[in-house]
Amino acid sequence: MNYTTAIFLINKNVRAVMCNYEPDAPGKTAMFTMFKTLDATIREGDFVIVPTNTRHNMTVSKVMETDVDVDFDSGASVGWIISKIDRSTYEVTLSQEGDAITVIKSAEKTKKRNELAAALLADSAGALKALPITTVSGDSPLPSAPEAE
């Protein structure tokens, strides 16, 4: 008997979950490993921390299938999922950073545009005003110089 699967026989709340360590890569066969958990919230697509023999004796794996059948005759050891990863705070932080970067880029663009307009008006406003392309549909030929801050 595989003693790492015995818990499935004595506790009906233990779930068998199939996980994948490696994302699918061209020419590489996906490797799936079964783990057990008491966490009823784990769903397909979740990321979980599982025990390994590498690094800190744990790594991240992706849940590919839940509540799978257990082969009690298999000799493969079935370990416990350490924890489900909650990415919600991380995703909110990434979104907020993206919003901040958008504002910063807009401010940089506005600053550069204002600095260039001021330089053009100070250096060659007369020459630019004489060009036909600076007047469109009777508009003023050039914007007024931005106010000094």
- pTM score: 0.67
Residue 80 lies in a domain: yes
Return the pLDDT at 122: 75
The verdict on 75 and 12 lying in the same domain is yes
Q: Cα dist. 51→21, 42, 68, 85, 115 in Å?
A: 11, 17, 19, 14, 57
pLDDT at res. 55: 82
**23-82 pLDDT, tens digit each:** 666 777 778 999 999 999 999 999 999 999 888 999 999 999 999 999 999 999 999 999
Rg, the chain, Cα only = 31
Residues 68, 96 within the same domain: no
User: CA 116, CA 9: separation in Å to the nearest integer?
Assistant: 75
104 and 79 fall within a common domain: no
112 lies in some domain: yes
